[in-house]
Every structure is written in structure tokens, then in C-alpha cells.
């Protein structure tokens, strides 16, 4: 079944003309028809458009074109603009919005030959850690459909693990790529802030958001990251640093690399099976020749609080644009202010409202210095912790999430508990560094994936990928997929 | 830092967000809880620490001042909830 292949395996077979892009795309569409009523990873799929792209890819293949993703079906989180396709951010407020242009990452995927298809479910406006905040219903974890896939990019992770696409794009503001990758059991990479253009990504928290790939293995993540990366003049925060050859970094040799083990990550809420799996991964790294160094990130305990001030403040400003005037749904009012209020009251879901109120509050007159400015200063301390650690280590190794996948509904009534499930991933965004999650084991009963997180220096993705690839070569967790 | 209580009605007005009385009540309780947690930032001495607005700050980012194609008029209006004569229609603002 072609939908079960990695990108590297499919592109090899496509280049040898053993199979066609149309067959690969049809295999994904068939898989979606077979399983997605149970998973709900996709909000919509335009099969005719996907197959037309596949036919175009087959013509290019026949002409001998050599492109890194030629004929590879890749699905997209519903927060990235794809020209002439719906864009809802899993919210009611965008109504029947159709994107008038492609995001830069979509342009780059197309230029690399990919078949860009589907709208993947997510927490509304990427606010959440379980995909339960989607206005269109939760996505389910392919390993146990009574459990959450994580979030906010839950659809992106579930679609890869349920083998409904070869890879997908998601976004990560506080862990929204890495945490669902961990809970579903695939690879998820959050690039360094500024590595990948945000043009055409609907902003949640502009100083934290990054686009990144979900894949079945590390080689695919390296390939996709190479395609997505690079400066974009339409995003003034994208950084003009050359893009390395990421797949070439996968040498298998990690001898002498230093991995930092932060003592602050051994918290009370860390599940025993998750801890055991991460301990075993640390041991495996030692066998592979890496050196393990205990480090300290002393401001770790303040990261969640800092994040929920900065992210909500930025969100309250960014989401002001959804006012019912220029696009999306509208509820009429007697004057513009009434129109805005009614439209926003009817269009946004509970978590988005909660964050807009919190963000507006921390920015409001009299509270700005006490909350927002203080949080920005603590952000400096958190960033400095990491920069200091990276003076002595090449990367940092932690669990991705404190537990394996939790039950749907288990945390949705308690926002603070949900926020704390991001405790290991949030600092990375505040510091602007890169991070990835890869599978490192399973719980016993039920069998649920466990994620290992590697955090790297700013623009240190090549080293992270090398480390992750070496571990992956020495284990076979990434070869296990759920029965569906 | 302020006490962990939000005047939800007032903040919702600032945010141009209509809330039902039930929503106001629930948000008040939840946000009180979250603000209580956030209070822990007071434990830290941040005097002399510079704030970070962006982790990877760039200054004076410019691009060549060259005219580029922009979104065609009809495309820009395509998603408008109400439009007429090439314009967005809004409620009356001035008498």
C-alpha cells in the first residue's frame, strides 16, 4: 500500500516509474475513506484537485524531472493558506473563507513537486493541546480512539500515523507539533524561530509560531525541513541564514556529541512509564557514543506562566482582525462595535474567548507592567538558561509530554491542567530554539506511544536530526503503526 | 501584581467580545484560577533584566522598494460578508 510508505521510499519508486503519483494519491484517498470517520483528522478533502496535481506530477516524472517531493501527497493543517481552498482554523468565525493565495510553505511544497491536499483538524486557532477545541469536533488518537491525539496539530499527527498521507504540515506555538507527534507516535519538528516563513500562516502568537513537518521517520523530516526553510521577504522575521543540506547530516555518527539532561524536567507529574522510556533512550544514546551531561535550566518552572501571558497577549491583538467586516462570518449590529462584539461572541469558541480575555487583561492599562512586561523579562531569563546550556552541550534530551495520550474529556474542563501538559515543550518557543519529538517506546496497557524530545541550538536542526536519526536507526519504534 | 480577579465584563468590552452571563461567570472563575498560577512570576527578581519581544531579533528589515503585484480587487473582496460596488458594506458610523 503506497500510503504506508515513507517519503524516501515512495520517491525512489516513483523515480523508477514502478508506481505513479496518481496511485499514491489514490491510496491516501482510499485510506481516508476507510478510516477517517473514526479518526476525524481531516476537515475536508478535495479529491479531484489532489488527483489533478498527481497527474501533473506524473507528467513531470515522465519527463525526467528531479524534485525532492515530486508526487508525494502531503496534507495541511487548517491554519495555512492554500489558494482556492477553505481556511477555517477549525473555527466558525471564518465562515466559508476561501484562501486567495498560497502560504510561502505551500509555494515551496509545490515547487518541490508535492501534492498539497486536505484540511487537517486542529484546536481552534491552534489554541489547545488535545484538538478538542475544534469547532468541528475532536480528532481521535489512532492508537485508541477514546483518547486525544494531542494538539493543537492533532489532525496533522493523526493523519500521518493513520497513514492517510505520507507527511503533513503543522504549526507549533508552545508544543503544537511536538506534543501531538509524541501522543500519536510519529516525528514532529519545530524549527528555530525564523527558519521557516510564516507568510500565509494565520497568526496566533507571532513571536512564537513556527511551521514544521510531521513525518514517519527522521529522514523524511530532514527532507521536508530542507524544502520549507529559508528567508522570505514577505516575512520580515524570517532569518537570512543559508539552509544546510539536512539529509546529508544523517551520518549515523554521533560519537562525542554532548546531550544535556535537565534536572528540572524530573517533575512530580511525570508518568513512570514515560520516565522509564526516556531513561532507556538516554542509555541508548550512551551506547551510541554520545556523552550525557546533567544540566540545569533553572527557570523551567516559570515557563508555562510566562507563555500564557505572552501568547495570549499576542493572540488578543492578532485575533482583533476577525471582526466580521472584511471576511468570514458576520452577525449584524446597529453600529460597528455591536457588529464586532456580536460577530466575535458568536464566532469564537470557549478556549479562544478565554485567551482573548486573558490577553486583553494582561495588556490593559494598569496591568501591562505587572504581567506582560514582567513575562517578557522572564522570557529573557528562560532564553538565557538555554543559551548557557548550549555553551556546554550540543542538544538537550527530555520527555516530550509528561504522560502518554490522555482520554478525550479528561482535561477539557480544567484549562490550567491542559496548559500544564505543555510543560516540556513551551520553553523551546519562548527561547526561539528548535526541537523535535520522535517515538521512544510504548506504555504497556494500553499500548500508547511515548515521545522523546530533543532541543537544539538556534539553527541547530542539522545536529538534532543527526542525533534523532542515530537513535532511530538503533530502535524500531517508528516502524509500529496502529491497527485500524 | 494585581489580585487574581478580572472584571470580565469590562475586559470583554475592550476585546469587543459579546459574552453571555453564563460565559462571564465561568470565565471569571477559570481566569481567576489561571491568574493565581501566573502569580508565581512575582517570585523572580527581574530588575535589570531586558525584556525579550522576539527570540531572534532583527532590526531594520527592508526589501527593495519595487512595485510588486498585489491581491486583485475582486479577490480581496471575495470573502466579504457584505459588499457592494467594489466596497465592504458596514453599519452607519456617522450620522
The Cα-based distances of A304 to A67, A375, B5 in angstroms read: 41, 10, 19
pLDDT interval class at B3 (50, 70, 90):
very low
Instruction: Assess whether pLDDT exceeds 80 at residue A245.
Output: yes
Instruction: Assess whether pLDDT exceeds 50 at residue B31.
Output: yes
Q: What is the ipTM of this complex?
A: 0.93
Q: Provide the 3-class DSSP secondary structure of residue A274.
A: helix
pLDDT value, residue A262: 97
Question: Of all residues in chain B, what percent are helix, strand and coil, respectively (each to 5)?
Answer: 35, 5, 60
Instruction: Assess whether pLDDT exceeds 90 at residue A253.
Output: yes
Interface probe, candidates A202, A357, A387, chain B, greatest B C-beta count within 10 A:
A357
Residue contact A380–B41, C-beta within 8 A: no
Cα-Cα-Cα-Cα dihedral sign, residues A104, A105, A108, A114 = negative
The verdict on residue A150 lying in a domain is yes
Chain B hits for A321, CB-CB cut-off 8 Å, are none
Cα-Cα-Cα-Cα dihedral sign, residues A436, A442, A443, A445 = positive
pLDDT interval class at A198 (50, 70, 90):
very high
User: What are the E-state strand segments in A246-394?
Assistant: 258-262, 291-295
Q: How far is B45 from chain A (nearest CA, A)?
A: 9
Cell of A157: 499527527
Backbone angles phi, psi at A98, to 5 degrees: -120, 130
Chain A hits for B38, CB-CB cut-off 8 Å, are 305, 308-309, 371
pLDDT in tens, A279-338: 999 999 999 999 999 999 999 999 999 999 999 999 999 999 999 999 999 999 999 999
Contact A319, A352 (CB under 8 A): yes
pLDDT value, residue A71: 98
pLDDT value, residue B5: 65
Q: Provide the 3-class DSSP secondary structure of residue A228.
A: helix
Residue contact B37–A375, C-beta within 8 A: no
Nearest C-alpha neighbor of A149 from the set A472, A448, A480, A478 = A448
Q: Provide the 3-class DSSP secondary structure of residue A298.
A: coil
The verdict on residue A249 lying in a domain is yes
pLDDT interval class at A48 (50, 70, 90):
very high
The three-point CA angle A80-A84-A86 to 5° equals 55
Q: Tell me which of B58 and B12 has the higher pLDDT.
A: B12
Where is average pLDDT lowest: A66-75, A152-161, B67-76, B77-86? B67-76
B78 and chain A in contact, CB less than 8 A: yes
The verdict on residue A153 lying in a domain is yes
Distance CA(A425)–CA(A207), nearest Å, equals 16
The verdict on residue A96 lying in a domain is yes
Place of cell 551506547: A287
Select the CATH number that applies to the domain covering B8-43 from these four: 1.10.20, 1.10.3470, 1.10.10, 1.10.1760: 1.10.20
The CATH number linked to A66 is 3.90.1300.10
Cell of A122: 486542529
Residue contact B55–A383, C-beta within 8 A: yes
Domain coverage including residue A180: 2-257
pLDDT value, residue A124: 98
Half-sphere exposure of B76 (CA within 13 A, CB side): 8
Instruction: Assess whether pLDDT exceeds 80 at residue B95.
Output: no
- Measured from the Cβ of residue B68, the count of other Cβ atoms closer than 10 Å reads 8
Q: Beta A434-442 vs A187-190: how paired, if at all?
A: antiparallel
- Measured from the Cβ of residue B24, the count of other Cβ atoms closer than 10 Å reads 17
A101 and chain B in contact, CB less than 8 A: yes
pLDDT in tens, A380-399: 999 999 999 999 999 999 99
Distance CA(A41)–CA(A156), nearest Å, equals 7
Instruction: Assess whether pLDDT exceeds 90 at residue B92.
Output: no
Nearest C-alpha neighbor of A6 from the set A22, A24, A30, A33 = A24
The number of folded domains in chain A is 1
The verdict on residue A367 lying in a domain is no
pLDDT value, residue A210: 98
Question: Of all residues in chain A, what percent are helix, strand and coil, respectively (each to 5)?
Answer: 40, 15, 45
Interface probe, candidates B13, B38, B43, B62, chain A, greatest A C-beta count within 10 A:
B38
**Reported pTM:** 0.97
The verdict on residue A95 lying in a domain is yes
The verdict on residue A139 lying in a domain is yes
pLDDT value, residue A138: 98
The verdict on residue A81 lying in a domain is yes
Instruction: Assess whether pLDDT exceeds 60 at residue B1.
Output: no
Q: What is the mean pLDDT of residues A47-63?
A: 98
Distance CA(B49)–CA(A352), nearest Å, equals 31
* A152 carries an active-site annotation: yes
Amino acid at each position: 500500500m503506497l500510503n504506508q510508505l515513507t517519503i524516501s521510499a515512495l520517491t525512489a519508486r516513483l523515480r523508477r516509474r514502478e508506481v505513479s503519483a496518481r496511485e499514491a494519491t489514490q491510496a491516501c484517498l482510499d485510506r481516508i475513506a476507510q478510516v477517517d470517520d473514526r479518526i476525524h483528522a481531516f476537515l475536508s478533502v478535495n479529491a479531484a484537485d489532489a488527483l489533478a496535481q498527481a497527474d501533473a506530477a506524473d507528467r513531470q516524472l515522465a519527463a525526467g524531472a528531479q524534485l525532492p517531493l515530486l508526487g508525494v501527497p502531503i496534507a495541511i493543517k487548517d491554519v495555512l493558506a492554500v489558494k482556492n481552498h477553505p481556511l477555517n482554523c477549525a473555527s466558525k468565525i471564518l465562515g466559508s473563507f476561501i484562501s486567495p493565495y498560497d502560504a510561502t510553505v505551500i509555494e515551496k511544497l509545490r515547487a518541490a513537486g508535492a501534492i498539497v491536499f486536505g484540511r487537517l483538524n486542529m484546536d481552534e486557532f491552534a489554541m489547545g493541546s488535545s484538538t478538542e477545541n475544534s469547532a468541528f469536533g475532536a480528532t481521535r488518537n489512532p492508537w485508541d480512539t477514546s483518547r486525544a491525539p494531542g494538539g493543537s496539530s492533532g489532525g496533522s499527527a493523526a493523519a500521518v500515523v493513520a497513514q492517510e498521507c505520507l507527511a503533513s504540515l503543522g504549526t507549533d506555538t508552545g508544543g503544537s507539533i511536538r506534543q501531538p507527534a509524541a501522543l500519536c507516535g510519529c516525528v514532529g519538528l519545530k524549527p528555530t524561530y525564523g527558519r521557516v516563513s510564516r507568510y500565509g500562516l494565520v497568526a496566533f502568537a507571532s513571536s512564537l509560531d513556527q511551521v514544521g513537518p510531521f513525518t514517519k521517520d527522521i529522514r523524511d523530516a530532514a527532507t521536508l525541513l530542507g524544502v520549507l526553510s529559508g528567508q522570505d521577504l514577505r516575512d520580515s522575521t524570517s532569518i537570512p541564514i543559508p539552509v544546510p543540506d539536512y539529509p546529508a547530516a544523517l551520518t549515523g555518527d554521533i560519537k562525542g556529541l554532548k546531550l544535556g539532561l535537565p534536572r528540572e524536567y524530573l517533575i512530580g507529574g511525570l508518568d513512570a512509564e514515560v520516565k522509564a522510556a526516556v531513561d532507556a533512550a538516554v542509555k541508548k544514546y550512551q551506547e551510541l557514543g554520545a556523552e550525557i551531561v546533567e544540566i540545569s535550566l533553572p527557570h523551567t518552572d516559570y515557563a508555562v506562566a510566562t507563555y500564557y501571558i505572552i501568547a495570549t497577549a499576542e493572540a488578543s491583538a492578532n485575533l482583533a482582525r476577525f471582526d466580521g467586516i472584511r471576511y468570514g462570518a458576520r452577525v449584524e449590529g446597529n453600529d460597528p462595535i455591536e457588529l464586532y462584539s456580536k460577530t466575535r461572541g458568536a464566532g469564537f469558541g470557549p478556549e479562544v474567548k478565554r485567551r482573548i480575555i486573558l490577553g486583553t487583561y494582561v495588556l490593559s492599562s494598569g496591568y501591562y507592567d505587572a504581567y506582560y512586561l514582567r513575562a517578557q523579562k522572564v522570557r529573557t531569563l528562560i532564553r538565557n538558561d538555554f543559551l548557557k546550556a548550549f555553551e556546554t552541550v550540543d542538544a538537550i534530551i527530555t520527555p516530550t509530554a509528561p504522560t502518554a495520550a490522555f482520554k478525550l474529556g479528561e482535561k477539557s474542563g480544567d484549562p490550567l491542567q491542559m496548559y500544564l501538559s505543555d510543560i516540556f515543550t513551551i520553553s523551546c518557543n519562548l527561547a526561539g530554539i528548535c526541537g523535535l519529538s520522535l517515538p521512544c517506546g510504548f506504555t504497556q496497557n494500553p499500548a500508547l506511544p511515548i515521545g522523546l524530545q530533543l532541543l537544539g541550538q538556534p539553527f541547530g536542526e542539522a545536529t538534532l536530526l543527526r542525533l534523532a536519526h542515530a537513535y532511530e536507526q538503533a530502535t524500531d519504534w517508528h516502524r509500529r503503526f496502529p491497527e485500524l | 501584581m494585581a489580585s487574581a480577579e478580572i472584571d470580565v465584563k469590562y475586559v470583554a468590552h475592550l476585546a469587543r467580545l459579546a459574552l453571555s452571563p453564563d460565559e462571564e461567570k465561568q470565565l471569571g472563575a477559570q481566569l481567576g484560577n489561571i491568574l493565581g498560577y501566573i502569580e508565581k512570576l512575582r517570585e523572580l527578581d527581574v530588575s535589570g533584566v531586558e525584556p525579550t519581544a522576539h527570540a531572534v531579533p532583527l532590526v531594520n528589515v527592508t526589501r527593495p522598494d519595487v512595485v510588486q503585484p498585489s491581491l486583485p480587487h475582486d479577490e480581496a473582496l471575495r470573502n466579504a460578508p457584505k459588499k457592494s460596488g467594489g466596497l465592504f458594506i458596514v453599519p452607519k458610523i456617522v450620522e
